[in-house]
Amino acid sequence: MGLAASVLVTAASSLGFLENWQARALDLLQTVQGRQYPTDVVIVAIDDAAFGGFGGRTPIPRDYLARVIRGIARSGAAVVGVDIRIDTPTTEAADAALAAALREFGDGGLSRVVLLGPLSDTATPLGAAALGPAVVLASPDVLPDADHVIRRVEPVVPGPAGALMPTLALAVTARLGGLDNRALVETLRAGKPLALPRLGGSVLERHGSPPVVARGGMRWPISYVGREGTFLTIPSDVLAASAEPGHEPAADNPLRGRIVLVGGTFAAGRDTYRTPHGVMAGVEVHANVAHMLTTRRFIRPTDWLQDLVINGAVVLLAGLVLVTLRPLAGTLVCVAGSFVLGVPLALWAFDRGGYWIDFVLPVAATALMGVGTDLLERRRFRDSFARYLSRDVLARVLADAPGLRGEHREVSILFSDLRGFTTLSERMEPARIAAHLNEYFEAMTAAIFAHHGMINDFVGDAVMAIFGAPVADREHAWHAVQSALDMTRALEALNRRWEAAGLPSLRMGIGIHTGAVFAGNVGGRDRIKYTVIGDPVNVASRVEGLNKELGTTILVTEETLAAIGDRARVRDCGPMAVKGRVEKVRVFEVLTDGREQP
């Protein structure tokens, strides 16, 4: 069952049926991991103060952006990514000022500022014709999951006319590595590895290893470093002021040699998104992706084969628990254990190397295994008890299964035995004896089941039945007597049919006693059986044997008679000595149902 559960859960995961649960489990890991404080990426935020300063106008004034870019350039930033679209023309003077600032902050004719594309087709200083060859363009798109939480990013997305565009963080990191727009797009189209910069100590090395493969159709889980405000964020007004003459930034300012992302955080911009760490601005989502690229701290999910091996190991351990405890208790222990052990181990692997060991799958496999084990246990139990109980009583037993562990209760016990069957069997072939007995037992079973009895055992040609256990029955004594009467009627019908077919007839004796017993499962590890134990069992058996002495068919004790009252016509046979008992047992012959005419 454990292996079947592992295969089923692994297949369900591969087909995406558990994606929502797995996503939330990854959210939990990133939340528990705690907060980091990266230094390789700095955010320059156009906040509410800046937005109010230029009159709350959109689009953001291009001359203001120009001052911010110049301030960042003077601060010694390595590369800049602008998470603001500039495809809407404004005044020619303002557009020209921004275009000039972009070109000034460059090398070899290529700006170090990465812009969102595509650019406008208009003939303006910021249009595609004028500015396009001088900048690297990127896509701002980071699509959320079905629950509107951003957990993954597509490094490469389709652009205009089918052209490929890198996401902003990838484009910024590639530009830091010296790639221009054309070389970057060709590399992405070919699916070749990118030798992107990597953070070594506190310095961004221009060509780090290992290389990064990015192509269309890929989706990277974003390795977030913390909640909103984790990255150093500087108001844009500070950088705009740094562009003024006579203002010289400090040599050790936090922007020097860093990746800088410029974006709007003002409330009116509504550029905020849900993430595993809560709501954060879009520019901070891009900062997390950029940091993931420079540190190579990618989230590395396990593949289906690794998942299957992990699940198999977990269910093997869970199997040891489930064979020791009851299915429900074992399942709860195993599921709780999977969480208690799985989450710390997954967190350790995630923190050490970004390995995402999906603890949802072992938990699901364990839970499925427990449910399956419980169903199998119930099926075995049902198949076993179906031979001894009627369907309605079996349903009640299954609903009250804890009672099978054992308890003291009052029951009525019925023993029946055939008269002269031993002598008869000596003259008949075994096959005919078996057929004879099968017909007899089938009729007796039906009579017992009809009155809520349980067949506890068949011993040769004898039957032991219990009334009042395993399901409580206030009328157990009366039901036992009714079963005995039906059994005699059924045997009479069988004898008539057998005599007509030239077969020998059978005679039967029945004894019934009522008393308190222990009822429950007894046995060892390899075999267990539900039965009743106590002196009433012996008394019922001995009472059945008195039928031979008295020449009767149905005998009940005075305890049983007291329980059924005057609902049956009886004949007092007086006190009788029984083997194994000092006190005599007073017995009564049941003649008919009290409702029948004599």
pLDDT tens figures, 452-461: 898 888 887 8
- Quickly tell me which residue has 């199998």 as its tokens: 376
The pLDDT of residue 379 is 72
Q: How far apart are CA 173 and CA 566, in angstroms?
A: 98
The pLDDT of residue 493 is 94
Record the tokens describing residue 524, joined without a space: 């060892």
Between 45-54, 185-194, 356-365, 526-535, the lowest mean confidence (pLDDT) is in 356-365
Q: How far apart are CA 208 and CA 198, in angstroms?
A: 5
Q: How far apart are CA 332 and CA 336, in angstroms?
A: 6
The pLDDT of residue 386 is 57
Query: pLDDT band at 168, cuts 50/70/90?
Result: very high
How many whole angstroms from its chain centre is CA 177? 44
In 3D, which of 189, 144, 190, 197 has the Cα closest to residue 170? 197
Q: How far apart are CA 466 and CA 447, in angstroms?
A: 13
Per the CB < 8 A criterion, the answer to whether 126 and 99 are in contact is yes
Q: How far apart are CA 39 and CA 257, in angstroms?
A: 10
Mean pLDDT of 465-490: 92
Q: How far apart are CA 598 and CA 596, in angstroms?
A: 6
Record the tokens describing residue 537, joined without a space: 């069992």
Tell me: the pLDDT tens digits for 542-588? 999 999 999 999 999 999 999 999 899 999 999 999 887 788 999 99
515 phi and psi angles, rounded to 5 deg? -175, 175
Supply the DSSP string of 73-104, one letter for each residue.
HHTT-SEEEEES---S---HHHHHHHHHHHHH
The partner residues of 356 in beta bridges, in order of sequence, read 301
Between 66-75, 145-154, 246-255, 491-500, the lowest mean confidence (pLDDT) is in 246-255
Residues contacting 375, CB < 8 A, separation 6+: none
Q: How far apart are CA 327 and CA 371, in angstroms?
A: 8
Tell me: the pLDDT tens digits for 213-235? 998 888 999 988 888 989 999 99
Per-residue pLDDT at 520 exceeds 60 = yes
Per-residue pLDDT at 36 exceeds 60 = yes
In 3D, which of 228, 215, 214, 221 has the Cα closest to residue 153? 221
How many whole angstroms from its chain centre is CA 167? 34
- Burial class of 349 by CB neighbour count within 10 A (0 to 12, 13 to 18, 19+): middle
Tell me: the pLDDT tens digits for 528-544? 677 888 999 999 999 99
Secondary structure of residue 415 in the 3-state scheme:
strand
Neighbours of 120 (CB within 10 A): 18
Classify strands 272-275 and 259-264 as parallel, antiparallel or unpaired.
Answer: unpaired
The pLDDT of residue 116 is 93
The amino acid that residue 575 corresponds to is: P
Residue length, the chain?
598
Q: Which domains does the chain have, with CATH numbers?
A: 1-31+302-385 (no CATH), 34-298 (no CATH), 389-593 (3.30.70.1230)
In 3D, which of 304, 431, 371, 323 has the Cα closest to residue 11? 304
Q: How far apart are CA 373 and CA 380, in angstroms?
A: 10
Q: How far apart are CA 91 and CA 366, in angstroms?
A: 65
In 3D, which of 301, 310, 368 has the Cα closest to residue 335? 368
Record the tokens describing residue 151, joined without a space: 């957990």
HEC-encoded secondary structure of 334-386: HHHHHHHHHHHHHHHHHHHHCEECCCHHHHHHHHHHHHHHHHHHHHHHHHHHC
Alpha helices in 105-143 (DSSP H): 128-131
Q: What percent of the chain has pLDDT over 70?
A: 82
In 3D, which of 529, 491, 530 has the Cα closest to residue 411? 530
Tell me: the pLDDT tens digits for 99-149? 999 999 998 889 999 999 888 888 889 988 889 889 999 998 898 988 899
| 530-556 per-residue burial string, b: 16 or more CB within 10 A, e: under 16 | bbbeeebbebbbbbbebbeeeebbbbb
Query: pLDDT band at 245, cuts 50/70/90?
Result: confident
Helix 327-353 / helix 19-33 crossing angle, nearest 10 deg: 60
Residues contacting 306, CB < 8 A, separation 6+: none
Q: How far apart are CA 552 and CA 143, in angstroms?
A: 88
The pLDDT of residue 162 is 74
Residues contacting 326, CB < 8 A, separation 6+: none
Q: How far apart are CA 96 and CA 451, in angstroms?
A: 99
Q: What percent of the chain has pLDDT over 90?
A: 39
Distances (CA, A) of 598 to 93, 495, 553, 564, 591: 122, 22, 16, 19, 8
Per-residue pLDDT at 598 exceeds 50 = no
The pLDDT of residue 375 is 72
Mean pLDDT, the chain, whole residue set = 83
Per-residue pLDDT at 597 exceeds 50 = no
Helix (H) or strand (E) holding 564: helix 558-564
Q: How far apart are CA 342 and CA 332, in angstroms?
A: 15
Helix (H) or strand (E) holding 89: none
Tell me: the pLDDT tens digits for 348-378? 766 666 666 666 667 667 777 777 777 777 7
Q: How far apart are CA 451 and CA 489, in angstroms?
A: 15
Query: pLDDT band at 209, cuts 50/70/90?
Result: confident
Record the tokens describing residue 86, joined without a space: 């500039």
Classify strands 203-205 and 198-200 as parallel, antiparallel or unpaired.
Answer: antiparallel
Record the tokens describing residue 548, joined without a space: 């031979």
Per-residue pLDDT at 403 exceeds 50 = no
Q: Which of 23-27, 192-196, 469-473 ranks highest by mean pLDDT? A: 192-196
Per-residue pLDDT at 325 exceeds 60 = yes
